[in-house]
Structure 1
């Protein structure tokens, strides 16, 4: 059974209650490897190897709710982090590997319009940052139009680890190699071990950390199937619970095989809610009048207005959506720190003229432009604790 209760909302004014975010994970790993001072409140055992396992869709609130299905995860030492806003995979992965919020790293959502400085040809178009495609998830490749090196220009925590002589290993699906998101997020050179299944991930990780080495090691591993089950069937559904049990067994096996001096950090990129109300942008003229483009995803929308229509679009979206969403201007999102305490000028230009954050279990769908995404039952991105909070679980050899 999926949960039908109204999720608790974490307004930006409440974020101080959860001061640590995914951006603190790699600095924590750096502290564990003895390179930098430990992150206050997130100190973990020191050693010569750190493994970060990112379980896509592993939310802290969901883990608490269904803890009986994950006894190993329940027993590990844990801290609760915020994913950061928006709580979506591409943004969260960059926040993790960069060690900063998206106001600096620039991947401000599932899709958005990059600023002109990182476009090499053609007119300004929406970038789907997860697929690195133009206009939508099924659009043409954006690698030539928006080179990853121009979309994300700042140096990050992962490169800093490599610069200190740490040997980096990536354990991810083989098809991720060479994609735009991978080139944006994982710039440190390292060994790439393709793996998808829990057994494949476990074997790749344990082989790496058990190998004799004079160097400190960092391993990034990724597992996707919990997120997919949540999108299709809803978090808390039996298919989702089966994937949670698989995650629990995978972590138990990894923890049991860690050699001395190795620390395993398990976290997620976001949680998830089950949607029960959809407002279809594509069939609502009031939400399209004066609009050049709509980006983001069903829980967080970037709305790009035609020149001179910004105030009219803001008024129309606010009036039509009412209590179903928080609707504000770009300037207000920056003033209130939605995208992080620092937003560079370049990143500010990527934010929609209007930003809409769905409330409760509402989604802002696009039945014509995002057919597949609009059919999903589980969604994430917004401010609820179910979406925002992720665990940081610690095991050591």
Structure 2
């Protein structure tokens, strides 16, 4: 199976897992000693911004729309989001500092063991108790327990949502709608305490990319607006405050003409009980005894357009990091990670809104799995 073009997932200081532990350690959170974190300069306060869909390669290629971020690129880290490169999984990795195999948020849609159904880990509709599904402590919880004033800022419907409770619990939540309002709320929160950690989430870039494509003028316009507000944030924080900007994944445009729909392909549909994951990162849950036939068929049909692995091989190669026994059954029997701009959909079960999207992510290409980490150190040390 060819590896060319595959970005190997990392769950140490070279990956998204190392970001929040590194920030917390820079604030003096002692309970994180020994965690493999991105090294950060000590600071009294910190603001961490996560821009959904801000892939490293996209920033590099479309930096003309982002003069502030472009000026930071020479000193930026290029880190890996992990696998799959999707929001729910990356939020678990970011929030806990652990690989997906440990925190258990293993994809956009994954099997609920023993219930013969899929869970959408983004919407969490009819989902299990988030604290039971993801019981590992979060970095925000550790920081708050160490006396850091933790504030999480995002859309109001995130407060108490399943994914937030699973991946990002800890501290207090403050709702704000526009990016300017979230920047204002971040500045207010970071100024309110002498030892503070503020997390700001912005999701519009991802939404625009899904609908219009990440090569569109609409995506460029949104990046321009984000860039201006991030520059204002950095100019306005107290002098003892460090600012970090990162992302959960990148994106590729997957034209509809280049897709396969399993609903109209009986050969590919044979032997599959559930199609989990998403179009760029499928998780196939096979009927009993059908795994070998499904693997052979899919390898023959799409093996040159995707990296195809059995669950055992994907785990052995470290796609999810070390996987606990409890989390192993959540992973599909067969993983299909698309190459280039290929995608596979299933119109039998997926919403028309999902099928209509142009921009996608989830796979292990650099465009999807490489994300930036911009670090603007505090002007005054802690």
Match of 1:62 among 55, 58, 65: 58
Q: What is the CA–CA distance in structure 1 between the aligned matches of 2:35 and 2:315, rounded to whole Å?
A: 26
Q: Is the 8 A contact 1:280 1:364 kept in 2?
A: yes
Q: Which residue of 1 aligns with 2:124?
A: 132
For 1:387, which of 364, 368, 374 is the aligned residue? Answer: 368
| Residue 16 of structure 2: aligned partner | 22
Distance between the aligned counterparts of 1:383 and 1:343, measured in 2?
18
1:151 to 113, 130, 133: 133
Shift in Å at residue 292 of structure 1?
A: 1.0
Alignment match, 1:48: 44
Determine the C-alpha separation between the residues in 2 that align with 1:152 and 1:16: 20
In structure 1, the residue corresponding to 2:320 is in which secondary structure?
coil
Matched, 1:75 2:68: no
* SS across alignment from 2:112: coil
String of CA shifts for 1:137-172, please: whole Å, max 9, x gaps.
xxxx32xxx111121122232222122111111101
Match of 1:175 among 147, 157, 170: 157
Residue pairs, 1:1-397, within 5 angstroms: 9-12=5-8, 15=9, 20-36=14-30, 42-76=38-72, 77-116=75-114, 123-133=115-125, 141-142=126-127, 146-188=128-170, 190-211=171-192, 213-214=193-194, 216-276=195-255, 277-340=258-321, 342-370=322-350, 371-395=352-376, 396-397=378-379
Contact preservation (8 Å) 2:153, 2:200? yes
TM-score norm. by structure 1 comes to 0.88
Range with bigger deviation, 153-162 or 271-280:
153-162
Distance in 2 separating the partners of 1:19 and 1:31: 13
SS of alignment partner, residue 328 of structure 1: strand
Measure the CA separation in 1 of the matches of 2:254 and 2:247. Answer: 20
Q: 1:356 to 1:197 in 2, by over 3 A?
A: same
Q: CA deviation at 1:91?
A: 0.5
Please state whether the residue corresponding to 1:61 is helix, strand or coil.
helix
Asked whether the 8 Å contact 1:88–1:110 carries over to 2, the reply is yes
Hey, what's the Cα distance between the residues in 1 that align with 2:249 and 2:210?
Answer: 12
Cα distance, 1:124 vs. partner? Answer: 2.7
Distance of 1:322 and 1:270 partners within structure 2: 24
Q: Secondary structure at the match of 1:169?
A: strand
TM-score under structure 2 normalisation? 0.92
- How many residues are matched? 368
Please list every run of 5 or more consecutive structure 2 residues that lacks an aligned counterpart in the other structure.
none
Aligned partners of 2:7 and 2:366 also within 8 Å: no
SS of aligned partner of 2:300? helix
CA distance in 2, matches of 1:262, 1:115: 44
Instruction: Give the drift of 1:225.
Output: 0.7
- Quote the Cα distance in structure 2 between the aligned partners of 1:18 and 1:366: 34
